[in-house]
A = this chain, B = another copy of it.
């Protein structure tokens, strides 16, 4: 085989598992092929998409661009309330991403939080102590269960469109740590997080953290502005040299931003036939490129399905 043939096929090779932005396949799909993500999403009714409430969206502006974050008050109400108060008080403006550890997390907030004279005070309305919110009752919690086995939890699926897990025996549910998960850093005491110091998972899903720390949301858009930050040279990826830290221009609730300046965004509902079809196509993917369907899909296999709302 010539390299030109090899390389001509490059554009079709290593297709991402669920690539909204991927170009159409070079070759027409075989009649037996599973539909592509794009085909499934193009066929979705408008009702398959929803607009997250503006007071659950955070805009984190860093030099590289804007990161759009979705908060999950149904899982971490006290933390989300505190994060809202911190954002309204402009707590993070001028602070920094002070940790980037390969295959683990970036972490941000106040690098001087442990310096009594230098730590930035919390704004009015933000609390210095919160309860741990590692999990919650399954009562009245919508849950779209995946039939697929998971080694870390008895049941996995989606709740409020967030990757989640559930234990029917204990009646508890929690958000799972996937790529792009946002959590609240803490010290040794379970209730030592406030939401002021936050982390985002940037590598293999750190599922061992599940139920050991409070998950507060996930990145919907702009993940690449966090994940490609050079790794910190100090142990655990800390940037001890302030020059290496990535400054945070601002973190704002979308509800505080004039409507004209908001990022138009819709999230695919997981409790829809569209999502079920997407997961099934992903589970048993067979097309010109895939030779052997996995017969499985993981709760962390699917990135947040977002789109810019179509013009009317």
Contact = CB atoms under 8 A, between A and B. Distances in A.
Interface string A193-216: 110110100011111111111000
A15 B185 CA distance: 10
Given A129-B1, A179-B103, A7 B212 contact: no
A51 interface: no
Interface stretch (A66-74, A115-123, A136-144, A255-263): A115-123
A293 to B, nearest CB: 8
Interface stretch (A17-25, A77-85, A269-277): A17-25
Contacts of A289: 188, 212
B207 A119 contact: no
B236 A187 contact: no
A10 B114 contact: yes
A300 B204 contact: yes
A285 B148 CA distance: 25
B187 A5 contact: yes
Interface residues of A, number: 96
Interface in A208-256: 208-213, 223-224, 227-231, 235-236, 238
A258 to B, nearest CB: 28
> DSSP majority for the A interface?
loop
Given A190-B291, A236-B16, A4 B204 contact: no
A298 B4 contact: no
Interface stretch (A40-48, A52-60, A104-112): A104-112
Contacts of A205: 204
A10 B185 contact: yes
A31 to B, nearest CB: 16
A150 interface: yes
A300 B300 CA distance: 13
B224 A114 contact: no
Contacts of A7: 110, 112-115, 119, 197
Nearest to A16: B104
